[in-house]
Chain A
Amino acid sequence: MKKISVYRPTTIEEAQQMLSMHGTDAAVYAGGTDLLIRLKNRLKQAPAYLVDIKKINNLRYIKEDAQGGVQIGALTKLAEIAESDLLAKKYPMLVQAVKMISSPELRNASTLGGDLLQEVWCQYLRGGYACWRNGGYICYGAIGDNSYYHSAMGGRLCYAVYPGDAAPALITLDAKVKLATPSGAKELTIEQLVPGDMMVDGRIQSHVVRFNEILTEVVIPPPKAGFRASFEKLRPRGVWDFAMASASLGLQLRDRTIEDARVVFGGIAGRPWREKSVEDFLKGKTLSTDLAAQAPTNALSNAAPLKYNATKIDMAKGLLMSGLEKLATS
């Protein structure tokens, strides 16, 4: 493992100073379940200065706000979300999605903030290949063996899929995040937070958080009456693995009529993939199993699969159908 220095700030301000001091050589260290592996694998892009924010108070909580929404501190463990009665009551779909992230062991260590901002899992990047994200000028995934970890919806520079499950689920719930920046607090939607491969501070990353910014909180608006949601994930094994494809659905219903819809696919593109054409198709329709069967024909028509990953699209459509059917029959 390369030599690293670890800072243990106790306030956000201290942490920001340390991050500013080292620029892109530094990174926020929370659960470490992604960061430490990159260090252990001796990736060039891994930081040398870790700013451990676990000693900062008040970043680990799940609390209800005055309007009936929920605020979740960025350091909240995924396991705590999975076991939260409050969340289970208000946003059962989020709990269901988080329970399908990796394994119980990793959920005990990883944080919600870390899950949202995690690095991609491309076998070339993780194997130390000098790709866009690791000091090079090529995407090996685009030209290589790309059945699982790479986008079937096109890309710009890096073709790795955004691997997280929490983000698509939170987009469905219209959640926002708060960032602490040197110029004060900033609020972004999750879609704005993770727009896919972006050049930020001279690096390719999936999110727009700058080197001196810290994600502090996720805010979920209060659930509306008649809102129903589902989360479907397909992975190679029953535990551990990232999504080959996932589908988060949120329907605002009046009786059986769909007034509004959110359809977000995961595991198929460089970002959580919101599919507006399906949302539009669903709006105004009556929820039924027949509707579930029709929905996929309107989905992912602009797919651009690479050599080995066309089935991701078929799987995503199957998950969409499956999620809608569950909502129609429950």
Chain B
Amino acid sequence: MSQTQRPRTPKRKIEAGLHSAIIVNQPMVRNFSTGGGHSPGDTLVEGDEKIVTKKWQGYPPENLNVVGKPQPPLAEVAIPRYTGKAEYATRISFPNMLFAKLLASPHPRARVRKLDATKAAQMPGVAYILSAQNAPKTYPFPEELFFQGSIVAIVAAETEDLAEDAVEAIDVDYEVLPFASSLSQIMSGNAPDLSQGRGQRRGNTAPSVVQYGDVEKAFQDADIIKEFTYYYAGGVVAPLQPCGSVAKWDGDKVTVWGHGQGIYPPRAIIARGLGIDPKNVRFINKWNGGTFGGVRQASEKFYPWVAYIAKMTGRPVKLTLTKDQELAHMQVKPENIQKFKVGAKKDGRIVVCQREYFVNNGERSGGGGGNGGRSELYLHVVPNWKEIGHDYRTNSMTIGASRSNMQQEFKFGWEQMMDEMAEAVGMDPVQFRLLNVQKPGTKVSLASGGPTMAPVPEIENGFLTYDSFASVEVMEEGMKAIGWDKRNSVPGGNPGRVKRGFGVAMSQHHAGRVGYHEGEVGFERVVKRGGADVYESEIELNAEGNIILRFAQPDSGTNHGTGIAMAIAEILGFTNLRHIRLLWGDSDLAPPAPGWNSGLTTQLQGGALCTAADKLRKDLLNRASELLKVDIGRLQIRDAVISSKDDTKKAVTFAALARSNEGRVIRQHASCCHPGAIGRAMNRGIGACFVEVEVDTWTGNWRFIRAAYCHDTGNVINPLLAEADMNGSLVQSSQVATEAIPWDREFPGTRHFSVGYLSYRLPTIMDVPEQTQVFVNSLEPRWYFGTKGFAETAIGAPPGAIANAIYNACGVRIREHPITKEKIMAGLKAKAGRA
């Protein structure tokens, strides 16, 4: 046999550095009306309530030692992932542990008439069978099985195989009910009424109408009116770690190891589900193999049952969902149809837009989830707007956040509409967007933002003003990075078999994510108003001079702990992270906080820690000043030593200060809160994605060649991790473009996840394009070091950008998601037929 000897790759040290990210710094002095960047004075005064903010919270983005420098992730979070030591819930094991498996409904809609588990209960190794008959009253099983995969029973046995054998032996008599899983079914004339009496039409909730301006008149005045329809087929995220949990009782206290995005919210669910005091629940979740918003639910909804079985059997219990069960219980991106009627002037200005949407809201009753906050209206200027929304309850999975919420789902259509309008008015798509984009300094009325805009204190006469908002820069820098001038002027105009094309799309999601911290007027007002989520945190200086950060949030590969540690190090005068330690992901160790999502983690959980660090800094300076008999103004801090600027021999270490304190530690506690749906003031982040694709017109094969992914970031704390995170974001968002939930088109209500990732195809490394990340530092003036959240600002853009690029390459417009080679081939054939 021929064996080729592969040459050994010589060992080399890998340095932390940027691979292909470009950071575009905006000038410190800018002339926006509310003063983004450095403008005269070091305070901002905003809104009717004259909210006063100290710029940069007193920590300007200047002379930084740590923030803004590429740093590898903190070893204590990252290394255990690679050495097998990370405590994923699925890795937790006890010698006498039972394994739980689910019996899931095979029907899109059914009721259990009779369930007989007698035979299953007598099978070898079976310890407990939980079903509607014996589930705790505080946390019952669903009465109606509302989608394929709904839970019918849970079996706990000595091994996974024995549990699966017993699941197969449970005898269930289902009463199969009329169902409608898809939009085409629920919108048909004979759909069953799933609205629980709340709908005005059968199977439907009442349509919602949102409008402003004079839509009819605007259409009369428009020079060009076009209508477009787009379809998005639904999608879901895919975690590497299987969803599941472990529960173990010690006396009347239960410990649950979970898989999600918070510590205290699941702890409350478990306590409520079991009817016990939350104090008796310890929830641990330090590491996750991905959560993406959608995963949480697939683990969380089972915690109380797993804990209950553990209690009833007196043994630890572990539940691990199979891939198809996991895909049934995660939150999905909803199927939807958008119908647009758009009017524009000859010069390209959009004057009116009407959107009618139809959203498959899944098993959730009621509507309203479908509009996605109308973030498109924060992106583009639409002077007259009418929206007619139809939200349908269906026999489909729960919808919700699944790596962003209603972004790719809607922008796949919206951003193609922008391209088709640009073509209709004869403009370059970038110039058309720049003409119609919201710009910094623009006053945006609450009315035009729709009802999801929370009344933040910065509102002035019903208006908010954009300031830290790099809408023009993300486009201009993206054009440069991709080489937009090489774009075909005529779609499909390049000669030859393999055609290249360029496309662009924009996105705007999650406010720049800046909140209020304790001590700010806004904080008191928002908390007093009620319903605010308060993130608490604690920082501790110990006798060894180490800084210990305590916070709740689990790490899903997000490495937010590193970003937070960098900001803390900067505040406390360190030049590196060697003295920072993290304690996280355990309700016994971390102070209360809501879960993390929507780009809140580094900003709000981190903001709480920054605020605590600010307090600690002041506390330490006071102590040093007293001890050294030096005026605070004449003290300096560097790497855990406080010394006199005038006489560096007059110095004291952090450790010494801690040792001299009672208890040999110095602690500070602080909180942050978020004002509501849109974040604080009008600093909404914005993003754009420029892509280059190649289409083989002989086979329909297409390749994603290159992308310039542009983000309005504020000051980037850790460019290295930001780059990695955004690379992942682009991969995820391309998957959303090219794959749909594999619903069977001939057997409605059923899905094919049985062949795992051969039926739900995630992009592989061979499908990932060459990427350039463009970070536009828009210098958010309201937050520490000019930072703001940008986790998902650009994520809505790639699907529309890819569709637009394919059109530019070969002239085939894919209005029906997903983008597949079959559709391109069929489109090319149809085009050739017409020609």
Query: Which residues of A come within 8 Å of B, CB atoms?
Result: 1, 41-42, 60-63, 76, 80, 83-87, 103, 121, 123-124, 126-128, 140, 143-145, 147, 234, 236-242, 244-245, 307-308, 310-311, 314-315, 318-319, 321-322
Bound Cα distance from A63 to B2, whole angstroms: 8
Is the Cβ of A318 less than 8 Å from the Cβ of B696? yes
With beta carbons under 8 angstroms apart, the residue of B698, B755, B759 that contacts A322 is: B698
Can you give 22 contacting A-B residue pairs, CB < 8 Å? A41-B754, A42-B168, A60-B1, A63-B1, A84-B2, A87-B2, A121-B758, A127-B752, A127-B754, A127-B755, A143-B746, A144-B747, A145-B747, A145-B752, A234-B701, A236-B820, A237-B764, A238-B765, A238-B766, A310-B826, A319-B698, A322-B696
Chain B CB within 10 A, most for which of A42, A63, A86, A145: A145
Whether B619 is near chain A, meaning CB under 8 Å from some CB there, is no
B822: chain A residues at CB < 8 Å are: 147, 244, 311, 315
With beta carbons under 8 angstroms apart, the residue of A127, A143, A238, A319 that contacts B767 is: A238
| A306 → chain B closest CB, angstroms | 10
Whether B825 is near chain A, meaning CB under 8 Å from some CB there, is yes
B696: chain A residues at CB < 8 Å are: 318, 322
B744: chain A residues at CB < 8 Å are: 144-145
With beta carbons under 8 angstroms apart, the residue of A123, A318, A319 that contacts B752 is: A123
Is the Cβ of A240 less than 8 Å from the Cβ of B754? no
| B389 → chain A closest CB, angstroms | 30
**Which residues in chain B, 725-743, are within 8 Å of chain A measured between CB atoms?**
742
Is the Cβ of A144 less than 8 Å from the Cβ of B761? no
| A250 → chain B closest CB, angstroms | 20
Is the Cβ of B825 less than 8 Å from the Cβ of A1? no
Is the Cβ of B821 less than 8 Å from the Cβ of A123? no
| A125 → chain B closest CB, angstroms | 9
Top 7 A-B residue pairs of the complex, sorted by shortest distance between their CB atoms:
A238-B766, A127-B754, A318-B698, A318-B699, A123-B752, A311-B822, A144-B746
**Which residues in chain B, 141-167, are within 8 Å of chain A measured between CB atoms?**
161, 164
User: Assuming A123-B754, A126-B754, A315-B699, is B2 touching A62 (CB within 8 A)?
Assistant: yes
Bound Cα distance from A144 to B752, whole angstroms: 12
Is the Cβ of A121 less than 8 Å from the Cβ of B755? yes
With beta carbons under 8 angstroms apart, the residue of A143, A240, A307, A318 that contacts B700 is: A318
- Closest A residue by C-beta to B768: A238
User: Assuming A314-B700, A318-B699, is B763 touching A83 (CB within 8 A)?
Assistant: no
| B472 → chain A closest CB, angstroms | 36
The interface size of chain B toward A, counting residues with CB under 8 Å, comes to: 35
Is the Cβ of A85 less than 8 Å from the Cβ of B4? yes
A128: chain B residues at CB < 8 Å are: 754
With beta carbons under 8 angstroms apart, the residue of B699, B746, B754, B758 that contacts A234 is: B699
> Hey, what's the 0/1 contact readout for B793-835 against A, CB within 8 Å counting as 1?
0000000000000000000000000001110011001000000
Is the Cβ of A236 less than 8 Å from the Cβ of B754? no
With beta carbons under 8 angstroms apart, the residue of A61, A234, A236 that contacts B1 is: A61
Whether B745 is near chain A, meaning CB under 8 Å from some CB there, is yes
- Closest B residue by C-beta to A143: B746
Bound Cα distance from A241 to B761, whole angstroms: 9
With beta carbons under 8 angstroms apart, the residue of A86, A103, A140, A236 that contacts B2 is: A86
B757: chain A residues at CB < 8 Å are: 240
A315: chain B residues at CB < 8 Å are: 699-700, 821-822, 825
User: Assuming A145-B744, A244-B821, is B161 touching A1 (CB within 8 A)?
Assistant: yes
A127: chain B residues at CB < 8 Å are: 752, 754-755
| B814 → chain A closest CB, angstroms | 14
With beta carbons under 8 angstroms apart, the residue of B4, B745, B829 that contacts A314 is: B829
**Which residues in chain B, 697-740, are within 8 Å of chain A measured between CB atoms?**
698-701
Bound Cα distance from A322 to B765, whole angstroms: 25
B825: chain A residues at CB < 8 Å are: 311, 314-315, 318
Is the Cβ of B745 less than 8 Å from the Cβ of A321? no
User: Assuming A145-B744, A315-B825, is B1 touching A62 (CB within 8 A)?
Assistant: yes
Bound Cα distance from A60 to B700, whole angstroms: 39
A318: chain B residues at CB < 8 Å are: 696, 698-700, 825
Is the Cβ of A123 less than 8 Å from the Cβ of B759? yes
Tell me if B's interface is mostly helix, strand, loop or mixed.
Answer: loop
> Hey, what's the 0/1 contact readout for B687-703 against A, CB within 8 Å counting as 1?
00000000010111100
Bound Cα distance from A241 to B767, whole angstroms: 12
Bound Cα distance from A143 to B745, whole angstroms: 10
| B103 → chain A closest CB, angstroms | 13
B761: chain A residues at CB < 8 Å are: 236-237, 240-241
Is the Cβ of A80 less than 8 Å from the Cβ of B1? yes
Bound Cα distance from A240 to B763, whole angstroms: 10
Give the number of A-B contacts (CB < 8 Å): 106
- Closest B residue by C-beta to A72: B1
| A252 → chain B closest CB, angstroms | 25
**Which residues in chain B, 1-44, are within 8 Å of chain A measured between CB atoms?**
1-4
Bound Cα distance from A60 to B164, whole angstroms: 37
B767: chain A residues at CB < 8 Å are: 237-238
A84: chain B residues at CB < 8 Å are: 1-2
| A118 → chain B closest CB, angstroms | 13
Q: A144-B744, A242-B758 given; name 10 further pairs at CB < 8 Å.
A: A121-B755, A123-B759, A124-B752, A127-B754, A234-B699, A237-B764, A239-B765, A240-B764, A315-B699, A315-B700
Is the Cβ of A238 less than 8 Å from the Cβ of B764? yes
Is the Cβ of A239 less than 8 Å from the Cβ of B764? yes
Is the Cβ of B764 less than 8 Å from the Cβ of A234? no
A245: chain B residues at CB < 8 Å are: 699
B3: chain A residues at CB < 8 Å are: 83
| A89 → chain B closest CB, angstroms | 10
B758: chain A residues at CB < 8 Å are: 121, 240-242
Bound Cα distance from A241 to B757, whole angstroms: 10
User: Assuming A145-B744, A239-B764, is B755 touching A126 (CB within 8 A)?
Assistant: yes
Is the Cβ of A234 less than 8 Å from the Cβ of B821? yes
| B765 → chain A closest CB, angstroms | 7
| B480 → chain A closest CB, angstroms | 28
- Closest B residue by C-beta to A322: B698
- Closest A residue by C-beta to B160: A1
Bound Cα distance from A42 to B745, whole angstroms: 25
Is the Cβ of A311 less than 8 Å from the Cβ of B826? yes
| B266 → chain A closest CB, angstroms | 30
A237: chain B residues at CB < 8 Å are: 761, 763-764, 766-767
Is the Cβ of B755 less than 8 Å from the Cβ of A311? no
- Closest B residue by C-beta to A292: B698
- Closest A residue by C-beta to B757: A240
| B495 → chain A closest CB, angstroms | 15
- Closest B residue by C-beta to A1: B161
Bound Cα distance from A314 to B829, whole angstroms: 8
| A107 → chain B closest CB, angstroms | 14
User: Assuming A83-B4, A319-B699, is B821 touching A236 (CB within 8 A)?
Assistant: yes
Bound Cα distance from A294 to B752, whole angstroms: 39
Bound Cα distance from A66 to B744, whole angstroms: 54
User: Assuming A80-B1, A85-B4, A311-B826, is B821 touching A321 (CB within 8 A)?
Assistant: no
Bound Cα distance from A136 to B699, whole angstroms: 36
A310: chain B residues at CB < 8 Å are: 826
Chain A CB within 10 A, most for which of B168, B745, B757, B763: B745
| A57 → chain B closest CB, angstroms | 13
A85: chain B residues at CB < 8 Å are: 2, 4
A244: chain B residues at CB < 8 Å are: 821-822
A60: chain B residues at CB < 8 Å are: 1
A147: chain B residues at CB < 8 Å are: 822
Bound Cα distance from A60 to B2, whole angstroms: 11
| A104 → chain B closest CB, angstroms | 11
Bound Cα distance from A103 to B161, whole angstroms: 28
Is the Cβ of B4 less than 8 Å from the Cβ of A1? no
B747: chain A residues at CB < 8 Å are: 140, 144-145
With beta carbons under 8 angstroms apart, the residue of B164, B745, B764, B821 that contacts A1 is: B164
- Closest A residue by C-beta to B747: A144
Bound Cα distance from A322 to B757, whole angstroms: 29
Bound Cα distance from A318 to B700, whole angstroms: 9
B700: chain A residues at CB < 8 Å are: 234, 311, 314-315, 318
